Amino acid sequence: MSPSSSTLTDSARTPEPWQWPESEWRAHAERVGAGRSLLPRQWPGGARVAVALSFDSDHETPALRDGITSPGEMAQGHYGARVGAPRILCLLQEFGIPASFYLPAVSALLHPREARRYADEGHEVALHGWIHERNALLDADDERELQLRAADTLERITGTRPVGLRTPSWDFSPHTLPIIEEMGLLYDSSLMADDDPYELLDRGRPTGIAEIPVQWIRDDAPYFVMERYAGLRPYTPPRSVLGIWRDEFQGALASGGLFQLTLHPHIIGHRSRIVILRELLEELAATPGVWFATHAEVARHCLGLAE
């Protein structure tokens, strides 16, 4: 290779992040920002803490998204709809607690009675993509089309149009926030910049959209997921996870903040795991000053919107 061709190759190479000018790394870091805190001075009824439980009813969709169609993989998804979701709904009914259910539209189409039951029993049904797609792999037009199609599908099945989004796998792309704004959604629940609700910024511009933040600590999947042909194995006993969630709740209670939890019917629904959810709900219900709410209710209160 001649010196001139070598120089050409070097100059055409994509710069490494450590070679970026400030304008580039700053633009990436500030594309979607965390704005003002939306933690209210007081929760409804003078409650000391807000509790927002959520369930991502993915069922068969993560496997279908990846083109995995084996009966074994489908059966694991079936478990969430057949066993996990009914157990969860019975538990919520027993304690009189509302929750938010995030459904990929394909899950709702495969299990329409389940989706309608969520709504009929007073729970929120919110967006979770079309087929649990990976937004970072989509262009803006495809991501937009799938979210709009998903919203239309959930509205048709449940009778109510969703007001919130949780991106599949919390995969928030550079296009997601403009799509949320275009759709007129009230809130997102995919990001992790705070423990408590905050306003999303688009390149520094306040959007008026609430973020109900999530965290892997408060998600059942990192502790319990099993992948047969990979190195991923459940590594934490359920009662150890219960201890983590109790500490998270106690921290929210002490600060007057929000305790948000993300669970999956096909994961938490198993016998040795649903028992820790029951124990947690027993503790929460016995604590004075707890406001149980859907994510949409939390967002409306934090944004100062009339119910």
Q: Are 161 and 127 in contact (CB under 8 A)?
A: no
User: Across residues 259-282, what is the average pLDDT?
Assistant: 98
**Assessment of whether the complete model's pTM goes beyond 0.95:** no
**Which residues does residue 202 pair with via DSSP β-bridges, in sequence order?**
32, 205
Q: Are 48 and 253 in contact (CB under 8 A)?
A: yes
Q: Is the pLDDT of residue 1 over 80?
A: no
Phi, psi of 268 (to 5 degrees): -75, -15
Quote the DSSP letter at residue 16.
Answer: P
Q: Are 128 and 136 in contact (CB under 8 A)?
A: no
Looking at domain 30-303, what is its CATH homologous superfamily? Glycoside hydrolase/deacetylase (3.20.20.370)
List Cα–Cα distances, 110 to 61, 106, 114, 204, 209, in angstroms. 10, 6, 9, 40, 31
Place of tokens 């999303």: 200
What are the tokens at 196?
């408590």
Give the separation between CA 260 and CA 275, rounded to whole angstroms: 19
- The pLDDT-based confidence of 234 (bands split at 50, 70, 90) is confident
Q: SS3 of 55, please?
A: strand
- The pLDDT-based confidence of 229 (bands split at 50, 70, 90) is confident
Place of tokens 């279908």: 64
* pLDDT tens per residue, range 20-57: 999 999 999 999 999 999 999 999 999 999 999 999 99
* pLDDT tens per residue, range 88-146: 999 999 999 999 999 999 999 999 999 999 999 999 999 999 999 999 999 999 999 99
Is the four-CA dihedral 160, 163, 165, 243 of positive or negative sign? negative
Q: Is the pLDDT of residue 8 over 50?
A: no
